[in-house]
Amino acid sequence: MVNQALKASRSGLSFSCGEEKRFMLFIEANRTALVLAPMEGVMDAPMRALIADLGGFDFGVSEFVRVGQSVITAKQILHEIPDLNGPVFGSAKLPLQLQLLGDSPELLAGTAIEACIAGARAIDINFGCPAPTILRRSGGASLLRNPKAITEIIRSVRDALPSVIPVSAKIRLGWEDPNDVDGIAQAVQEGGANWITIHARTKQEGYRPGVHWDAVARVRSRLSIPVVANGDLFTAEDVARCEAETGCTHFMIGRGILKNPFLAHDVRASRALHALREDIPLQLDDRLRISIERYAAITDDQAANAGFVPSRVKQWIRMVRDISDSVPHQVLTAVKKARTTSELLNLMHGS
Ligand SMILES: Cc1cc2nc3c(=O)[nH]c(=O)nc-3n(C[C@H](O)[C@H](O)[C@H](O)COP(=O)(O)O)c2cc1C
């Protein structure tokens, strides 16, 4: 049944030569890439629209689409990730790689084909999600204990797609022992992944401060595919330290962008990469305030209700407070009191 679906879908997935030329290379061995991390429930289409507007990233990875009992269709995928083919809020573009999560090689391959029909031009597979609801159904981080299954899944997805569509994997170092990463990364490479992203903690470590760059360095030196380093990259100095300790030149940034939405620009400046804009405020407080204003301007028109922007900004600031105690007082007061976008903006300006 699934095989039939695979075959049927595959026939819709041939690209002409001219079309292949338009495919971007998401990760290349010799070119630094800054990647916006997937953050389910936080980094969704409206938030990605803001980050695209502020600029600085090469591409982003979508929050995961869960593949449970059946193939997820192109239509369902576009419903979950409406900005897969371009912005639905604002007009700035951020190329997006679609992430899938599941444990069935066949269903993931079938869904990957549907994803490409929906417009995805790169697929990532999640082997790191520690959420209990996911672990109960044996996807995400639970597969870190079964490297053979990881190889099988990646091979199945890789074989199902044309070679112009890159397939990557995002892992943690292991379930409990950071040294398990060697076998897991090898399994990813054996499956035919084009690159691997490593969040440098084990599942058991959750988000406790401290990452194991030594383990990432060892893995990078043994693999032939590029490694994207991820975990606690909150400043340009963190990125420089990560590069010095791991040798990686590809970096994925998650929570750091919530605290400093212009962080990718700091990293670009520190690495003398092409500057993408010049009007960047110096102070972190100003950066957060300006970003909230931009977010409101981009999303308010299309927001489903008057409370959408304030409630999303409240959630954003809650996450910033998890990693930093320096949220501007006026922003804190504003998110506490505001019920509409205009109230939020007025309160942030102290009026
Ligand atoms: C709220 C939240 C949701 C996340 N959702 C996903 C997800 O859907 N897929 C995934 O691979 N990782 C997910 N992650 C993990 C991040 O992509 C990243 O690996 C992790 O936050 C470490 O990077 P950071 O220190 O730069 O935030 C999530 C993290 C957070 C905090």
Please write the tens of the pLDDT for every residue from 327-349: 888 999 999 999 999 999 999 98
Read off the amino acid at residue 20. E
Name the pLDDT band for 276 (thresholds 50, 70, 90). low
Catalytic residue (one of 17, 116, 129, 248): 129
Pick the closest to residue 97 from 225, 228, 217, 244 (CA basis).
228
> Can you give the pLDDT at residue 300?
82
Read off the amino acid at residue 260. N
Q: Is 42 in the pocket of ligand 1 (CB under 6 A)?
A: yes
Name the pLDDT band for 2 (thresholds 50, 70, 90). very low
Residue 323: exposure state from Cβ atoms within 10 A (0-12, 13-18, ≥19): middle
Cβ density class 161-199: b for 16+ within 10 Å, e for less:
beeebbbbbbbbbbbeebebbbebbbbbbebbbbbbbbb
Hey, which residues does 228 pair with through a beta bridge?
197, 250
- Contact between 139 and 66 under an 8 Å Cβ cutoff? The reply is yes
> Can you give the pLDDT at residue 35?
98
Q: Is 256 in the pocket of ligand 1 (CB under 6 A)?
A: yes
For the CA of 37, the closest atom of ligand 1 is: 17
Share of residues in the chain with pLDDT > 70 (%) = 92
Q: Is 253 in the pocket of ligand 1 (CB under 6 A)?
A: yes
Please compute the mean of the pLDDT values over residues 96-119 and round it to a whole number: 97
Q: Does the pLDDT of residue 256 top 70, yes or no? A: yes
Fold of 28-270: TIM Barrel (3.20.20)
Q: Does the pLDDT of residue 100 top 50, yes or no? A: yes
> Can you give the pLDDT at residue 328?
87
Q: Six-digit token pair at 314?
A: 């409240």
How far is ligand 1, taken at its centre, from the CA of residue 43, in Å?
9
CA pair distance 191, 201, nearest whole angstrom: 22
Q: How many CB atoms lie within 10 A of CB 29?
A: 10
How far is ligand 1, taken at its centre, from the CA of residue 210, in Å?
15
Q: Is 128 in the pocket of ligand 1 (CB under 6 A)?
A: yes
Share of residues in the chain with pLDDT > 90 (%) = 78
- Active-site residue flag, 129: yes
- pLDDT winner (highest mean) among 6-15, 104-113, 272-281: 104-113
Q: Is 232 in the pocket of ligand 1 (CB under 6 A)?
A: yes
**Which residue out of 34, 96, 123, 199 has the highest number of ligand 1 atoms within 8 Å of its CB and is therefore the one to mutate?**
199
- Contact between 257 and 35 under an 8 Å Cβ cutoff? The reply is no
How far is ligand 1, taken at its centre, from the CA of residue 50, in Å?
18
Residue 86: exposure state from Cβ atoms within 10 A (0-12, 13-18, ≥19): middle
CB-based contacts of 110, cutoff 8 Å, min separation 6: 2, 5, 6, 9, 71, 160
Q: Residue with the nearest Cα to atom 21 of ligand 1? A: 254
- Contact between 253 and 264 under an 8 Å Cβ cutoff? The reply is yes
How far is ligand 1, taken at its centre, from the CA of residue 205, in Å?
14
> Can you give the pLDDT at residue 33?
96
SS (H, E, C) the chain: CHHHHHHHHHHCCCCCHHHHHCCCCCCECCECEEEECCCCCCCCHHHHHHHHHHCCCCEEEEEEEECCCCCCCHHHHHHHCCCCCCCCCCCCCCCEEEEEECCCHHHHHHHHHHHHHHCCCCEEEEECCCCHHHHCCCCHHHHHHCHHHHHHHHHHHHHHCCCCCCEEEEEECCCCCHHHHHHHHHHHHHCCCCEEEEECCCCCCCCCCCCCHHHHHHHHHHCCCCEEEECCCCCHHHHHHHHHHHCCCEEEECCHHHHCCCHHHHHHHHCCCCCCCCCCCCCHHHHHHHHHHHHHHHHHHHCCCCCHHHHHHHHHHHHHHHHCCCCCHHHHHHHHHCCCHHHHHHHHCCC
Pick the closest to residue 82 from 109, 62, 100 (CA basis).
62
Q: How many CB atoms lie within 10 A of CB 274?
A: 5
Within the chain, all domains assigned CATH 3.20.20.70 are found at 28-270
Q: Is 97 in the pocket of ligand 1 (CB under 6 A)?
A: no
Please compute the mean of the pLDDT values over residues 213-233 and round it to a whole number: 98
- Contact between 273 and 31 under an 8 Å Cβ cutoff? The reply is no
CB-based contacts of 40, cutoff 8 Å, min separation 6: 63, 64, 129
CA pair distance 292, 273, nearest whole angstrom: 26
pLDDT digits (tens, 9 = 90+) for 163-199: 999 999 999 999 999 999 999 999 999 999 999 999 9
pLDDT digits (tens, 9 = 90+) for 22-68: 667 899 988 999 999 999 999 999 999 999 999 999 999 999 999 99
